[in-house]
Structure formats: C-alpha cells, structure tokens
Amino acid sequence: MYAQMIKTARSGIKTRDEMTDRERAFQDKIDADIKIEPRDWMPDDYRMTLIRQIGQHAHSEVVGQLPEGNWITRAPTLERKAILLAKVQDEAGHGLYLYSAAETLGESRDELVRLLHEGRMKYSSIFNYPTLNWADIGAVGWLVDGAAIVNQVALQRTSYGPYSRAMVRICKEESFHARQGYHAIMKMAFGTPAQKKMAQDALNRLWFPAMMMFGPHDSESTHSEQSMAWKIKVKSNDELRQQFVDQTIPQIEYLGLDLPDPDITWNAARGHYDFSDPDWDEFMDVIRGNGPCNVDRMKDRVKAWEDGAWVRDGLLAHARKRARVAAE
Amino acid sequence: MKNEWPLWEVFIRGQHGLSHRHVGSLHAPDADMAIKNARDVYTRRNEGVSIWVVEARHIAATAPGDKGPLFEPSESKVYRHPTFFDIPEDVGHM
C-alpha cells in the first residue's frame, strides 16, 4: 500500500469525444483489461500519475523498515529476531521491485530517492507513528501489513504491467508478514495479564493510524476518478477500508481483546461492520509533516543514504577500473 | 560522470528444469555484484537454482508498434496446430 492522496496529473476525466484517436485507443485497451507495457504509447498524465503512486509506494516500503529495524536487536527470542530480520529484508526487496517498476516509466531510482529526501515526495502516514514496544511490532505486522495486503491484492489488477507484476510478487511475501505479526500478538494476548495489556494497548494505538492508510473518504478523494478510469486504482479508499475492517474484527475477537473503537457494530442490513472515522485532522497534520516521527524518519533515511555513499562510489570505481584493465 | 549504478535484468531458472525466466531488475556496479544482489533479492524463498544477469542496455526488443505485422500473420494459420486435423477415433491415439 502505502500510496495516499496521489494527485492525478490532470483534473477531471475527458469524455470520449474530447480524446484524441490515440487516447481513445489507449482507453479501449484499459477497458478491455489489456495491460499497458513500458514502451506502449500512454498519455503523459497516466505516466506522471503512475510515477507518483509507484514512487510513493516504494518510499513507503523503504521507510517502513525504520520502525521495525528499531526492534531487531531487541526481539525477545532468537527466532523472533530471525523472523523480523527476514521481514525487514523483504521490505527492502519490495522497495526495489517498485522502484524498478517506476524506472520503466523513465524516472530513475536515484531521482525518486532525491525527491523523497528533499521532502518533495511522501511515504505512507503510518510510518510516522512510533513502535514503542515489542507488542507494537506484532501489531504492525498484523494490522499495517494486513491493511497493505488488502490494498495490494486489489492492485494486482492495476493496468500497468510492471506495477501489477510487482504487486503479485509482493503479495506472496506480504502474507508471511501479516501472519508472523498475528502470531506474535497471539503469544501476548494469550500470555500473562501484563502481556495481554500490552497487546491491547498496541491495538488501541495502531488501529486508527492503520485505518488512515487507505486515505480520505471517497467523497474527499478528489484525484481518484481519473485513476479509477485508468485502472491505476482498482478499488476506492472506502471500499478497501471496509474490507479491512470486516476481515480484522473476527481476528480481534479471536484474541479476546476489546475492540479499539466503541462504535464497531455488525450491520446486518449492509452485511458489513459499522465503525467510526479516524481523526482526519490528525491525518492531514501527519501528511503535512507534523506526526510524532516525521522528522526522525527523514533524518534516518537521509543519513543512511549519505553514510552509504562511499560504498556505492567505491564499488563503482572498482568496477570501472576492472573494466578498464580488462580492455587494455 | 554519473554515479548511478547501471540497470541489470535478472533471469532465474526455477527448481523444475525449466528455462531461465525474467523475474525483475536491479542496479549493480558490475556483473558479479548484480548476481550477488539477484541472489539476495530474487531467491530468498527457493525460487531458483541458477541466475543469469544481463545489463539492460544490451537487450534488443521488438517495437510495440510492430506487433501487428509481426504477430498477426500466425493467427490465420490454424493448420499449424494439431487440433486442425480430424483423425478418426478408429486410428487410435496420435
């Protein structure tokens, strides 16, 4: 997941009459569920919107390593440590798949990274919340990766071939992430009263931030219409959020934990759970850079990039020297 | 000189004796590092037994616009498929 508030590069949708022949042929392909591939003709706005969305998605995978990496050395057992290490390594891989997909659109990875570090691109709001204790690590896998799966399963049907293929690969790995998180939370929920209390506290704190991952209400999501017409987005924010709530409530009940939102009730008429909104003012504030961890996340990200510069440059210098010697 | 690592395309042979198949791409300073990185990124779950990497700029490809002239002619040649020929059941499996 992890793409929120993506501005579509144009406003409003063109009617068929307003489209050029090429645009009409392009829309016909989309409507017929034919994937768009890198060298196919595409409208500039389609390309720009995809670069923004895939880029933000990639940044989220990479920044998402930070709150969890924080706990690798403090995992409660060697097994949990190995599992968390494997999960965090997966996130780096997911970032790579997504940057690669963005690169097929003509934007280099280094350029996307530069835009992130300059604050001109964003990552998901969820990673601006802290992971205060071990229960949070379980809850992140369960809820955050769980929410990501809901979004990414839908995106497997996205219209751009390389993005869709990256999603298929990521979904296969993401299921491990959610299950290891739920497993860790199960241990605590079924453990001592103190452990159960920690599990409850983690659920309470992360529930609404997880709900925000799907972005604002459809009625507020002004850029969705064109993205849906181009099938860059396949399901709406509210549809995905409802799906997440519906699948997660029984999981909370199984753990014997209290629901994190007193308004959650089964609505038989709708066939879905009713629930209350997260605090959208808080969401907007976090997006604007004022969440609890925004500053630290970017500081750590930029530091990692700068500290790694000598390794990147050294390896490249070595490769160039070897190529030169081989040519002589 | 630009200090961006070149792009490599990665091909993996799966477990079951199939051909190498394109799985994705990555950046690396040279072929050795590309293979090491491909191993770390694309074979973490027993996906393969052999890796090929090739620098992306060395790949030649057909142009999307040539799809019609290149591939449509084969659509009308149904006699190239075994199912085109009705063989009486009496002849047995063929």
- Tens of pLDDT, residue by residue over A13-37, are 888 888 999 999 999 999 999 999 9
Mean pLDDT, contiguous 10-residue spans, chain A (328 residues): 67 81 94 94 95 96 95 97 97 96 95 96 96 97 96 96 96 93 98 98 98 93 84 94 98 98 97 97 96 96 96 94 93
User: Is residue B14 included in any domain, yes or no?
Assistant: yes
Q: What is the reported pLDDT for A224?
A: 80
Query: Could you tell me which chain B residue has the CA closest to the CA of A113?
Result: B4
Domain count, chain B: 1
Its domain, for residue B40, covers 1-59
Q: What is the reported pLDDT for A12?
A: 66
Residue B67 sits at the chain A interface (C-beta within 8 Å)? no
CB contact (8 A) between residue A100 and residue B25: yes
User: Is residue B42 included in any domain, yes or no?
Assistant: yes
Q: Which two tokens stand for residue A7?
A: 């501005």
Identity of the residue in B3, B40, B63 whose CB atom sits nearest the CB atom of A313: B3
User: Is residue B64 included in any domain, yes or no?
Assistant: no
What residues in chain B have per-residue pLDDT under 70?
1-2
Determine which of A97, A173, A311 to mutate to test the interface with B (most B C-beta atoms within 10 Å). A97
User: Is residue B5 included in any domain, yes or no?
Assistant: yes
Query: How many whole angstroms separate alpha carbon A307 and alpha carbon A303?
Result: 6
Q: What is the reported pLDDT for A36?
A: 96
Q: What is the reported pLDDT for A1?
A: 47
Q: What Å distances lie between residue B93 and A320, B82, B86, CA to CA? A: 60, 12, 12
Q: What is the reported pLDDT for A137?
A: 97
Residue B33 sits at the chain A interface (C-beta within 8 Å)? yes
A93–chain B nearest CA distance, Å:
6
**What is the interface pTM, i.e. ipTM, of the complex?**
0.87
Contacts of residue B11, Cβ cutoff 8 Å, sequence gap at least 6: B20, B21, B22, B23, B51, B52, B53, B54
User: Is residue B28 included in any domain, yes or no?
Assistant: yes
Query: Could you tell me which chain A residue has the CA closest to the CA of B9?
Result: A100
Question: Tell me, what CATH number does B41's domain have?
Answer: 3.10.20.520
User: Is residue B12 included in any domain, yes or no?
Assistant: yes
User: Is residue B79 included in any domain, yes or no?
Assistant: no
CB contact (8 A) between residue B29 and residue A96: no
User: Is residue B91 included in any domain, yes or no?
Assistant: no
